[in-house]
Structure 1
């Protein structure tokens, strides 16, 4: 990227028993959703990816990882990150990870909300497969207005997770995420419930679906499944509750 600044229905807030996390816990207590039109599509993409990188416990992202993610050069990423820093959206030192500022976090969470609601709408209302929606939502999210996103949210019943199990922030930046989730690779043998499958690789999504490993479904974990390193890293589970 050049520099320039059939799954189960998604759960609603009433059905969720997860912890809540707001943008205030990531550096600001201002609940107002920011105006995404104030930043460029490239800035929107960068902030969203920087925020998402640490959402499930991975370390902060680096310029090299961003370059790999966007299919561009480290030099291009460095230029863009410098501009984001000048705008007060990120902090970054040479050869160090990139961190969002409080206002950068607010923009990032708003973009994540937009992206995940669009993915959910495409699957739930238009019949897309969960392995098809990521790139489609990437294209749509820059054209969608806040009014459209709010109406999609209402039409879907205010879901708290997208088709892949990733939490959908509400308008105040609050998300609902289990506190006892572990990667499949770290889960012991026995019965678990899948809560999330990373959408980073469509092939992994398709393989998970063939094995019945999709969010909110019971999974009986054995060594054959755990031996698949890609699945083990991409899938998150919680202990199975028969109730």
Structure 2
């Protein structure tokens, strides 16, 4: 799908709405979108209104924002670009996983579908990016993860890290140092202190704040 007809800001809005709804399983909130866009709520409200007028999103008052089929089609192209570019930056150019989000944000608007197809082929058609997010296919199909946040894991329960929210570079650096990445087994201990919880990962016990626990999605099916 050629998305070049849509302005970069429209592409950003649609990608963010998809990302938020993918992670939470509910329509995106106006405040959440504004925060991710780095702009005032009033600006975001006007932007969403224009997207609704173009048939790209549905917005019911107090019910959040969701993508229409047309909006989802554009979002899938941008999500695929972003996540493949992140993978390319790590695997081929030696970037750390905490360095790639903003870089991919800039590049995704400049590359062509042909360039993305070449990257996809070069990387062996990966299904997940470095943070564990599913990569859509060229046909717009995407894996639906059956996950829960690490914060919801019961005391003593074990799980596998599936993905980690990539919006906090400092957290990503800390998790990398502690050995917590997608594919790693973790166990929720019963130890709490000063707003932190200890999580066992391999031979380590890692202290994580509530916000960090919420940023990590896990699956419990072994």
Q: State the TM bucket, normalised to the shorter chain.
A: 0.7 to 0.9
Which residue of the partner structure matches residue 44 of structure 1? 11
C-alpha deviation, 1:63, in angstroms: 2.1
Which residue of the partner structure matches residue 27 of structure 1? none
Which residue of the partner structure matches residue 37 of structure 2? 70
Runs of 4+ in 1 over 3 A off after TM superposition: 93-96
Q: 2:104 aligns with which of 134, 137, 140?
A: 137
> Are positions 1:210 and 2:191 aligned together?
no
Which residue of the partner structure matches residue 7 of structure 1? none
Moved more, 155-164 or 168-177: 168-177
- Name stretches of at least 5 consecutive residues in structure 1 with no aligned partner: 1-33
Which residue of the partner structure matches residue 173 of structure 1? 140
Tell me if structure 2 keeps the 8 A contact 1:208–1:231.
no
Which residue of the partner structure matches residue 80 of structure 1? 47
Tell me if structure 2 keeps the 8 A contact 1:218–1:240.
no
Larger RCO: Structure 1 or Structure 2 (Cα < 8 Å, ≥ 6 residues apart)?
1
Tell me if structure 2 keeps the 8 A contact 1:131–1:202.
yes
Which residue of the partner structure matches residue 232 of structure 1? 213
User: Scaled by the length of structure 2, what TM-score is found?
Assistant: 0.87
Which residue of the partner structure matches residue 222 of structure 1? 189
Tell me if structure 1 keeps the 8 A contact 2:20–2:28.
yes
Q: How far apart, in 2, do the equivalents of 1:70 and 1:48 lie?
A: 11
Q: What secondary structure, in the 3-state scheme, does the structure 1 residue paired with 2:4 have?
A: helix
Q: Paired residues, what number?
A: 207
Compare the two structures and name the one with the higher strand fraction: 2
Q: How far apart, in 2, do the equivalents of 1:46 and 1:168 lie?
A: 18
